[in-house]
């Protein structure tokens, strides 16, 4: 059993068999499998394989989409199980993907883990323009703003957001964390972000550091 179910989940997501994933994941939840192992050793690696196949032109956007759908259906079942104690909010985090970027699986995972870690998460969704984001930041006044980008072409939007926060006198009131596959620490430093989260667990660790 150990390992076999990871292979099965990975293969089902890679193949985009989204109609099967809920039964499989629910069955594993009922058996009490380790959810972090399920996410980190099966589900995320599945998306990496999909990305490699897309880059090699073995699959195209429709196949990526059905794999993403399978991933999202699986994560939706896991999400309620990771929820933390809402009576003790560690801080408020606003999350979104930047303008031009609709890749939201990583952001959603980060949000799930932050909620599990006791944070209130306000998920603004995808493709947020700088102006819309500023409006929300002024209203919500979060402790942390988390920006996600998966495209090299959308990464510069993160820098624009940070600059706009400074221009509107909001930079000192919110910590900015950036993440996403093409982002790294050097880029984060270059745009003046407060932190770079390599993965969802790291995002929670860094968010806790900001609050304490
Ligand atoms: Co697209 N896509 N995609 N895609 N896609 C990539 C990113 C790509 C690398 C594939 C490839 O070529 N190998 C490539 C980008 C190349 C580049 O920029 N150089 C690419 C491309 C080209 C495109 C399109 C342009 C394709 C086209 O239309 N011709 C298009 C662009 C759409 C747009 O955004 N405007 C596009 C579309 C899509 C789909 C819609 C089909 C779908 C997204 C569906 C969705 O998200 N709802 C899709 C998918 C699924 C992928 C891949 C295969 C998988 C992404 C993913 O979900 N990974 C991706 C290849 C890849 O990344 N390997 C690819 C799993 C996820 C858990 O990882 O998001 O990295 P990730 O999140 C991690 C960490 O990065 C971190 O924590 C997460 C958990 O560990 N993290 C944070 C993320 N955000 C964070 C924020 C933090 C902290 C940590 O703090 C705030």
- Under DSSP, the state recorded for 98 is B
How far, in Å, CA of 64 to CA of 61, rounded?
5
CB 194 within 8 A of CB 176: yes
Strands 195-197 and 144-148: unpaired
What is residue 94's three-state secondary structure? strand
Nearest atom, ligand 1, residue 152 CA: 18
Residue spans of the domains in the chain: they are 4-84, 92-211
Measured over the CA atoms of residue 109, residue 113, residue 115 and residue 116, the dihedral's sign is positive
pLDDT in tens, 135-185: 999 999 999 999 999 999 999 999 999 999 999 999 999 999 999 999 999
CB 96 within 8 A of CB 107: yes
Measured over the CA atoms of residue 177, residue 181, residue 187 and residue 191, the dihedral's sign is negative
Nearest atom, ligand 1, residue 149 CA: 84
What confidence tier does 2 reach under pLDDT thresholds 50, 70, 90? low
pLDDT in tens, 105-145: 999 999 999 999 999 999 999 999 999 999 999 999 999 99
Quote the mean pLDDT of the chain. 95
User: How far does residue 119's CA lie from ligand 1's centre (Å)?
Assistant: 24
CB 146 within 8 A of CB 93: yes
Q: For ligand 1, is residue 74 a contact (CB within 6 Å)?
A: no
Scored b (16 or more CB within 10 A) or e, 118-134 reads bbbbbbbebbbebeebb
How far, in Å, CA of 184 to CA of 168, rounded?
26
Domain 4-84 has CATH 1.20.120.80: no
> Which residues have C-beta within 8 Å of that of residue 3, sequence separation ≥ 6?
none
pLDDT at 186: 98
How far, in Å, CA of 178 to CA of 191, rounded?
10
User: How far does residue 45's CA lie from ligand 1's centre (Å)?
Assistant: 13
- Under DSSP, the state recorded for 16 is T
> Which residues have C-beta within 8 Å of that of residue 184, sequence separation ≥ 6?
196
Q: For ligand 1, is residue 47 a contact (CB within 6 Å)?
A: yes
Q: Which CATH number fits domain 92-211: 3.40.30.10, 3.50.30.10, 3.40.50.280, 3.90.1150.10?
A: 3.40.50.280
Residue with the smallest CA separation from ligand 1 atom 24 is 61
């Amino acid at each position: 059993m150990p390992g076999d179910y990871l292979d099965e989940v990975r293969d089902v997501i890679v193949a985009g068999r989204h109609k099967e994933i809920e039964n499989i994941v629910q069955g594993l939840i009922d058996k009490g499998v380790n959810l972090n192992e399920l996410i980190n050793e099966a589900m995320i690696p599945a998306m990496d394989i999909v990305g490699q196949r897309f880059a090699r032109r073995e699959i195209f956007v429709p196949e990526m989409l059905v794999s993403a759908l399978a991933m999202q259906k699986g994560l939706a079942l896991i999400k309620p199980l990771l929820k933390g104690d809402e009576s003790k909010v560690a801080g408020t985090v606003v999350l979104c993907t930047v303008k031009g970027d609709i890749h939201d699986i990583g952001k959603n995972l980060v949000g799930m883990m932050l909620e599990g870690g006791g944070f209130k998460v306000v998920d603004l969704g995808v493709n947020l323009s700088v102006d819309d984001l500023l409006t929300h930041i002024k209203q919500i006044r979060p402790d942390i703003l988390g920006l996600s980008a998966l495209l090299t072409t959308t990464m510069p939007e993160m820098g624009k957001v940070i600059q706009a926060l400074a221009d509107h006198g909001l930079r000192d009131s919110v910590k900015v964390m950036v993440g996403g596959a093409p982002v790294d620490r050097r880029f984060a430093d270059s745009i003046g972000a407060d932190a770079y989260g390599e993965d969802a667990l790291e995002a929670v660790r860094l968010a806790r550091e900001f609050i304490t």
